[in-house]
Every structure is written in structure tokens, then in C-alpha cells.
Structure 1
Amino acid sequence: MQKKPPTRLQLFRRYFLTGVAFIAPLALTIFIFAYLFQLLHNWIGRPVSKLLPENLVAPDGSAWIASLVGLLLLLGCILVVGAIVSTVLGRRLAAFSERLLLQLPLIRTVYAPAKQIVEFFVNPTAVQFGAVVLVRYPHPNSYAIGFITGKDVEQLNSATGRKMVNVFVPFTPTPVTGIMLVLPEDEVIPVDLTVEEALKMVVSGGVATPTRVLTETEPPK
């Protein structure tokens, strides 16, 4: 039986959905980078523009050259600090400054968790963060993806009489925000997923599953 050719409406729908599937991720990526660039411009570009000659600043006030210079300066500073901290003396200075910050009553309440969060995204193996688990959240009949962020906290174990673990449940589509749960270790379900795979699922709202990624990147033999 000969296949019936698609109607104009079906072609329109197919082309439209194909166009959306191609453009939407690109547009979202551009939007995110544009937003970050705008933040960079507001925080760094404008102060730097005051230090540059007037002929280097755009006449419309956008000061995009200043933002670019600010970005290069920021990257340069990060590289220089990283190079210094990588040395023996730099590591000692970093450890000393960290101990000093952790002794300040108000600063340590922000610095300590901020350091752990940054360490996870930069180097997940540097902290107790990485075991992907399923937890019953927000009610007993549903599950959420979480990450074990800590365990063997004596105060929590003694208070409950059970071995407890700290689990961070990230929110979609911004996994840097979420909720921290303290759960009995025997109530969390380990999942055979890498941190990267789990984060992709969270960011995409479950669309980018590991199976789908393998199907698209590895054609069947």
C-alpha cells in the first residue's frame, strides 16, 4: 500500500517542531550567556570603563570593550590565583586564610557552605558528594533524584538512633538550588547514574535521560 503523502498542515507542523527543536536550545544558550554577560558588564564593565580612555568606550554607553577587558582581567586573575595556590607556599597561604575565615562568626556561616558547593561543581571527588540516590519526596508515593552530601554525622545519628545521611535534592532547571534532607541511610535508594547524568536529567526536566543520550551519540551496530 502506497504511503499517503503528508498534508500541508502536517508538513507545517513537522517543520515547525523541527525548527523549535533546533532553535530553542541555541536560543536558551544565547540567553543564558547574554544574561551572564550583562551581569559582567554591570559588575565589572562599568567600573573598568571609567579607567579606559574615552575613545575606547562605545558612544552608546554599552561599554562592550570595557566588559571584554573586565572579562579578560577576571580570567587572568583567576588563572594567576590558581597558579599561586598550586604552589607549596600558595597552598599554605590558602589554608591559613581559610582557617582565618572559618574563625569569623558571620563569615564562616556563608564561606563554609559556599566553599563546599563550589568544590562540588569544580571537583566532585574533593567532597563527600557524588552518590546519586532516589528519595521519597515530596510525598511517600513519589521519588526525587538526590545526591549524598555527607554522612556519619555523630550528632544526627545519636539524636535519631539510626545511621543518617545528608541528601541534597536539586530543583529543575537550576540544580544549584534545592533542599537538603536528612534521611536514614537504609531509606535512600542508590542509583547507577553518574553525577553528570543525574544533573542532565534535573536540568532538562527528565528529557535528557541516559538512555536517550546513548541512543543519540552511539548509533546501533
Structure 2
Amino acid sequence: MKKIQNYFFSGILIVAPLGLSVYVAWVVVGLADKIFRPFIPLSQLGIPAEIPGVGLIVAFVFFTILGAVAGSFFGRFYHKVVDGILSKIPGLNSIYNTVKQIIDTFATTQSNAFKEVVLIEYPQKDMYAIGFLTSETKGEIAVRKNKKMINVFMPSTPNPTTGFLMFVPLTKCTKLSMSVDQAIKYIISAGLVTPSAPNIKKALPKKKKKLAKK
């Protein structure tokens, strides 16, 4: 009986990610259809009204055009005005700023501002934390310390939009093979979503066997 229960839960674990992905996709398509379908003259275009996904296609085209306009002078001016207004409305400004910070963080990871994921010994000996290498330390700090250092952003859990900057000697960092996206998921999930480990045992130097004394 216990073996059957294990098989049952194993089946759920296999199907759950696929089922949830399909459900979310279906909800997104349905939501896009409800919002954008009333603005589309389907009958005049000869498109059957019952075809799902038409609203999603229109939404894709709409946001693509909006993104292109946002890059122009008018778009930047409009964004600056809207940003200034929403940032000053009590109650709404906290929600707007939080969402904006989260979006900016993920946009930053896509633009490769976070170059690599590193592991550093923090906050004390034999305790470690994940950070993001942003650049090499330069300027006054590099001159005063007179050693090769890197700038590491240390995100907090479960909100990686907050954190602090650390200047770490390069020799004190361990570069990880996981991607920035994987590290972000790792941090947000508080360690529940663990990236798969690469086969690094072959790359590690083999320990020399000590010869037995005769």
C-alpha cells in the first residue's frame, strides 16, 4: 500500500508542473481575449470570434509598438511624467515603487548587468552566501586596498530587489556555474528551488594520496 502511495505522489509531482504551466497559459490567453477582443473588428476581418488567442496576438503587437514608442523622446517624456505623478500619490506610490523595483531587477539581469554568480564566505567563517558579480572594483577603494577586488551585490531573500554592495577580494570568491536566472529563483524560493549541480568533480584537483611510511 505504501508503494502505491509513493507511485501516486510521484505521478502528481511529474504532472503538476506541466498542468500548472498549461493552466497559467490558458488563463493568460483568456484574460488577453477578454481585454482586447472588444477592440478587434473580428467580423469585418472575417475572423471567427470563437478562436482563442486572438487577443493575445493583439496584446503582443500592442506592447511591442508601445515599447518602440517608449524609446522615443515622447515616450521618455511621458514615462517621466507618469512616474513622477504615481510616485507622489499616497498609498499607491509604495505599490508602484515596489513593482517597479522588481521589474527593474529582472530587466537588469536580462541586460547582463549581473555578470556571474559567486559564493562568498559571509557573514562569518564556514557560512556562505550567494552574490552577483557586477564589475571589477576601481577608483579610490581599489587604490587604497592595493589588491584585485570585485563588486558583489548581495541580494536578500525572498525579495532580491533589496540588498547591499560588498567589495570582495577576488581570491575570496568562488565563481559558480549556475546562471543569474537560476540564482534569482534560488534566492526568491529561499532555497526550495535548487539549480541542478554540474559534474564538477572531474574538474576539481585530485587529492594526492599520502604514502604509507615503511
Q: Is the 8 A contact 2:121 2:127 kept in 1?
A: yes
Contact 1:135 1:143 (8 Å CA) reproduced: yes
Alignment counterpart, residue 189 of structure 1, candidates 173, 184, 200: 173
Aligned to 2:206: none
Specify whether residues 54 and 97 from structure 1 end up closer, same or farther in structure 2 by C-alpha distance, changes over 3 A only.
closer
SS in 2 for 1:15: helix
Q: Which structure dedicates a bigger proportion of its chain to helix?
A: 1
Q: 1:22 offset after TM fit, Å?
A: 0.9
| CA distance in 1: counterparts of 2:127 and 2:42, whole angstroms | 60
The one of 109, 116, 123 aligned to 1:120: 109
Residues 1:106 and 2:84 are matched in the alignment: yes
Is contact 1:146-1:170 (8 Å) kept?
A: no
- Are 2:115 and 2:132, in contact at CA under 8 Å, matched by a contact in 1? yes
Structure 2 CA distance for partners of 1:79 and 1:24, relative to 1, 3 Å: same
| Counterpart contact for 2:177–2:198, Cα < 8 Å | no
1:169 counterpart residue number: 155
Structure 1: gaps (5+ residues):
1-8, 56-63, 213-221
* Corresponding letter in the other structure for 1:13: Q
How much is the aligned-residue C-alpha RMSD, in angstroms? Answer: 4.8
Q: TM-score, normalised by structure 1?
A: 0.51
Determine if the alignment matches structure 1 residue 48 to structure 2 residue 36.
yes
> Per-residue displacement from partner, 1:105-139 (whole Å, max 9, x unpaired)?
838x9679855641523x42xxx3121112456x4
2:114 counterpart SS class:
coil
Q: Residue 3 of structure 1 corresponds to which residue in structure 2?
A: none
Residues 197, 210 of structure 1: 8 Å contact kept = no
Alignment: residue pair count: 172
Who is 2:115 aligned against? 130
In the superposition, the TM-score normalised over structure 2's length comes to 0.52
The amino acid that maps onto 2:168 is E
Give identity over the alignment, percent. 16
Higher relative contact order (CA 8 A, sep 6+): 2
Distance 1:98 1:170, change over 3 A: farther
Q: Secondary structure at the match of 2:109?
A: helix
Q: Is the 8 A contact 1:144 1:169 kept in 2?
A: no
CA contact (8 A) 1:200 1:209 kept: no
Change (3 A) 1:77 1:98: closer
Q: Which segments of 5 or more consecutive residues in structure 2 lack a partner in the other structure? A: 44-48, 88-96, 200-214
Distance in 1 (alpha carbons) for counterparts of 2:42 and 2:184: 45
Instruction: Please show how residues 76-91 of structure 1 align to structure 2 within 5 Å.
Output: 76-80=61-65
Structure 2: distance between partners of 1:48 and 1:80: 15
Structure 1's 168 and 77: CA in aligned 2 closer, same or farther, altered over 3 A? farther
Which residue of 194, 198, 202 maps to 1:211? 198
Partner of 2:92: none
CA separation in 1, counterparts of 2:23 and 2:139? Answer: 45
Distance in 2, matches of 1:168 and 1:65, equals: 49
- Post-superposition CA distance 1:74-94 (Å, at most 9, x none): 212345567xx5xxxx9xx83
Cα pair distance change 1:190/1:200, threshold 3 Å: same
1:174-197 CA-partner distances (Å, limit 9, x unpaired): xx7443221122286232314155
